[in-house]
Amino acid sequence: METALSEQQVTDLVAAANEARLHAYAPYSRFSVGAAVLGTNGEIYAGCNVENGSFGLTLCAERAAVAHAITHGCRDLRALAVVAETNNGPVTPCGACRQVLAEFNPMLTVICATETGRMSVLRLDELLPHHFDLGRR
């Protein structure tokens, strides 16, 4: 699928997600994930997964990246990259992350990549075709 992103933007976004992955706190699953969102302002905001012994309190990398963007005043998201070390190919955001991302842009470009460079590009509405919406837009 073609994105409206330049090759350099994709490269920078995946690199930021991969760098964030290196800082993940994943002592339980040992599955480190990094994510980065690109705001319509051109800035990149990264996050990593942060696990907790009370597993339900674990924070996914995608939601950490969104929180980073929001903290810096960016609410208009253009794209997301998510990177994980896996032999099974690129991973996609979990359902909770998909819903959080849809709050900000249901048409978001989602780049799923491995640390070795395997990549797939989707749109969020393909991953979550009927997201919950309070109709406040």
Hey, which residues are catalytic here? 62
Q: Which residues in 11-131 belong to E strands, given as ranges?
A: 33-39, 44-48, 77-84, 109-114, 119-123
How many whole angstroms separate alpha carbon 119 and alpha carbon 129?
21
Q: Which two tokens stand for residue 90?
A: 């690129």
How many whole angstroms separate alpha carbon 77 and alpha carbon 58?
23
